[in-house]
Amino acid sequence: MDKKLLIAYSSRTGNTDKVAKAIYEVLSEQAEIKKLPDVSSEKYDTVVMGYWVDKGTANEESLTFIKSLAGKKVILFGTLGAGDYDGYYQKVREAVEKELPADCILLGHQLFRATSIMLNRLRKQHAENPDDLEIKKRLEDYENNKHRPDAEDLKKAQEFVLSVLRK
């Protein structure tokens, strides 16, 4: 029988790839996994879609795919470099969700913190401005999260998708 669930994802530096593959591990009997851009959701009922955050929303190739999900049940997840300060994650989720076609059914949406190329920029900025406490604080935060997504994040991602699908 054809598998009715698709895990589609976009990844530039590998973080979203890791989370998508962890989710696939627990759904492999019912799902297929495909990396954008050459993916069609046509033959699937439900799509688990993983994007990475670029300037506060999903990266462009993910947005194009998200806009094509008319009539589907959708589970969204994203990876991003920043922490959840000042309601940032909620803003990102809203920015992405407004791109979904009106008739698709959003089952769940989760963000996962990951390392980012910003870490190198912050290290450089800190080296050039050692007395700037704001940069120092941001750098420490990014250093503390440089190994993510870690095993715990991957487990959370698996549990998130399984719990959404059980509903």
Ligand X SMILES: Cc1cc2nc3c(=O)[nH]c(=O)nc-3n(C[C@H](O)[C@H](O)[C@H](O)COP(=O)(O)O)c2cc1C
> What phi and psi, each to the nearest 5 degrees, are found at residue 119?
-55, -45
Query: Which spans of this chain sit near ligand X (rule: CB under 6 A)?
Result: 11-17, 52-56, 79-82, 114, 116-117
H-helix segments, the chain: 15-27, 60-66, 88-97, 118-128, 133-144, 151-166
Which residues are paired to 49 by β-bridges? Answer: 8, 76
Supply the minimum distance, in Å, between the C-beta of residue 125 and ligand X: 16
Is the CB of 88 or the CB of 136 nearer to ligand X?
88
Query: 99 by DSSP, 3-state: which?
Result: coil
Is the CB of 41 or the CB of 57 nearer to ligand X?
57
Is the CB of 65 or the CB of 73 nearer to ligand X?
65
Supply the minimum distance, in Å, between the C-beta of residue 17 and ligand X: 6
Supply the minimum distance, in Å, between the C-beta of residue 12 and ligand X: 3
Strand 105-113 with 57-58, pairing: unpaired
Is the CB of 55 or the CB of 98 nearer to ligand X?
55
